[in-house]
Homo-oligomer: A and B are copies of this chain.
Amino acid sequence: MAEPSRITVLAGGIGAARFLAGLQRVVPPALITAICNVGDDLEWLGLKVCPDIDSVLYTLAGMEGTEGWGVRDDTHHALDALRALGGESWFVIGDVDLATHLFRTERLRQGATLSDSTAALARAHGIGMTVIPVTDDLHPTVVQTAEGDLAFQDYFVRRRAAVPITGVSFPGAATAMPAPGVVEAIRDCDLLCIAPSNPFVSISPLLALPRVAAAVRDSRGQRVAISPIVGGAAIKGPAAAMLDALGHEVSALGVARIYSGLIDLFVLDTVDATLVPAVQALGMDAVAVDTMMTGDEGRERVARNILHAAGFAV
Contact = CB atoms under 8 A, between A and B. Distances in A.
B102 A82 contact: yes
Interface string A208-231: 000000000000000000000000
A82 B99 contact: yes
A65 interface: no
Nearest to A94: B77
A146 interface: no
Nearest to A108: B46
Contact of A74 (B77, B84, B87): B77
Interface residues of A, number: 30
Number of copies: 2
Interface in A17-76: 45-47, 74-75
B124 A84 contact: yes
Contacts of A86: 120, 124
Contacts of A96: 77-78, 80-81
A106 B46 contact: yes
Given A75-B75, A75-B77, A78-B95, A85 B106 contact: no
A81 to B, nearest CB: 3
Contacts of A102: 45-47, 78, 82, 87
A269 B124 CA distance: 53
A98 interface: yes
A88 interface: yes
Interface of A is mostly: helix
A85 B103 contact: yes
A79 interface: yes
Nearest to A125: B85
A40 B9 CA distance: 48
A67 B235 CA distance: 50
**Residue of A79, A98, A102 with most chain B CB atoms under a 10 A cut-off:** A102
B109 A46 contact: yes
B77 A121 contact: no
B121 A99 contact: no
Nearest to A106: B45
10 contacts: A46-B105, A75-B75, A80-B99, A81-B100, A85-B100, A85-B103, A85-B121, A86-B120, A86-B124, A87-B102
Closest 10 A/B residue pairs (Cβ): A81-B99, A77-B95, A82-B99, A81-B96, A85-B124, A87-B103, A78-B98, A78-B95, A45-B106, A78-B99
Interface of A: 45-47, 74-75, 77-82, 84-88, 94-96, 98-100, 102-103, 105-106, 109, 120-121, 124
Given A78-B102, A84-B99, A84-B124, 7 more contacts: A74-B77, A80-B99, A81-B96, A85-B124, A86-B120, A87-B99, A95-B98
